[in-house]
Amino acid sequence: MAWNWELAGWPKFKWNPEFLRVREQAFMENAAIAVGTMRHLGKDDREEVVIELLSSDALSTSAIEGEVLDRDSVQSSLRRQLGMSAAAFRSRPAEAGIAEMMADLYRHPHDPITEERLFEWHRMVMNGRRDIVDIGTYRRHGEPMQIVSGAFGRQRVHFEAPPSDHLAAEMGRLLDWLEQTSPEGLDPLAALTRAGIAHLWFESIHPFEDGNGRIGRAIAESALAGAISTPTFSALSKSLLKHRKDYYAMLEAASTTLMIDEWLSWFADRALEAQRSAEELVRFLIEKTRFMDRLRGALNERQEKVLLRMLAEGPEGFTGGLSAGNYATITGAPPSTTTRDLSDLVEKGALLRTGERKATRYVLNIASDA
């Protein structure tokens, strides 16, 4: 079986633009709405949206690779990187590094992707690693770069990348294409098409010893953001994480062909899904502010602590809802106080109660404030 980079015609991918026409239009329309909504937010709310979206992408892109990061640490690092007020929080190297790359993506949406910028991103993503030889440069080892799974002796090769001595030429062609197809380039491409091709192309080259997935997704985010006049972010990796099994399968299927309609259609759907998720988050944060404003002065310290903890979970809230046990754990309140506090929150319209006895759960009544 030949890999895509071994095929005649590489790297001239082929696709039918008509398949993506409606999706491309929807992406730009959604982006314009998102930009307009952000402009109507106050400074604090706008900062919260940015931090939530960037941290979601940082956590998700790392989780795709099986790395679990600390949310508070990532958010604290992002706030420092973006010059926002941040609590004193010592971040681990992994959290600090991914936050630095996300902040660079957000601050410089229209900066070109250059070799120097990729090397900087690699140093950020590999921050604190001692097991990687080539950091901040392309891989240089002689053995094949393969993506494999399965136990030793029964391994399956999902992909093999070009050898190390091909990387300078391969990456040179990709970077030239990114410049040529940018909105200001000689041959501009629509946002979803350009981002989808860029991501697939980069992953097909797999130029680094490690971190290719995270950097490849950053390239895709950069391509999407670069198509919009104002900095915005959709947390694409959150959508890709949600469909991680399909994501790997689609990349693997696209690694043996230059006909990429199926990959581009799938990628476009994930990008649009990410946009909808980002829009939902913005709406949630707006309603969150109204929700807490309405209850200001009517809550005791325990109740406020629990509501803020629930709101911190985002639009999805607590999985399965809040239980009396959760409330007691968060506040340290005895059963009688817990029961009284929860009943009071229901009466005030802050929570909705479902179920009976041990199955009783509480969810935020935030939708009624729309």
In the chain, the percentage of residues whose pLDDT exceeds 90 is: 73
Torsion from C-alpha of 359, 280, 226, 215, nearest 10 degrees: 0
How would DSSP label each residue in 328-365? HHHH---HHHHHHHHHHHHHTTSEEEES-GGG-EEEE-
- What confidence tens digit (pLDDT) does each residue in 308-340 have? 999 888 776 777 889 999 999 999 999 999 999
Strand partners, 156: 149
Match 């950020």 to its residue by tokens.
124
What is the topology classification, in CATH, of domain 297-369?
Answer: Arc Repressor Mutant, subunit A (1.10.10)
Q: How confident is the model at residue 87 (pLDDT cuts 50, 70, 90)?
A: low
357 is in an annotated binding site: no
Q: Over 90: is that where the pLDDT of 162 sits?
A: yes
- What confidence tens digit (pLDDT) does each residue in 56-76 have? 999 999 999 999 999 999 999
Q: Over 80: is that where the pLDDT of 365 sits?
A: yes
327 is in an annotated binding site: no
- What confidence tens digit (pLDDT) does each residue in 222-231 have? 999 988 866 6
Out of 131-135, 166-170, 213-217, 231-235, pick the least confident. Answer: 231-235
281-309: average pLDDT: 90
92 is in an annotated binding site: no
Q: Is 171 helix (H, G, I), strand (E, B) or coil?
A: helix
d(CA 318, CA 311): 9
Greater confidence (285 vs 233) lies with 285
Structure tokens at 253: 């299927």
217 is in an annotated binding site: yes
Strand partners, 147: 159
pLDDT at 88: 66
Quote the pTM value.
Answer: 0.87
Non-local (6+) Cβ contacts of 131 within 8 A are none
Summary mean pLDDT of the chain: 92
Phi, psi of 148, rounded to the nearest 5 degrees:
-130, 160
Number of H helices, E strands in the chain: 14, 4
Structure tokens at 197: 């091709």
pLDDT at 369: 42
pLDDT at 192: 97
Q: Over 50: is that where the pLDDT of 259 sits?
A: yes
Q: How confident is the model at residue 144 (pLDDT cuts 50, 70, 90)?
A: confident
pLDDT at 74: 95
Greater confidence (166 vs 36) lies with 166
Parse the chain into domains and list their residue ranges: 4-283, 297-369
pLDDT at 370: 39
pLDDT at 257: 97
Domain 4-283 has CATH 3.40.50.300: no
152-179: average pLDDT: 93
44 is in an annotated binding site: no
Where in the sequence numbering do the catalytic residues fall?
A: 206
30-38: average pLDDT: 85
286 is in an annotated binding site: no
Q: Over 80: is that where the pLDDT of 153 sits?
A: no
pLDDT at 279: 87
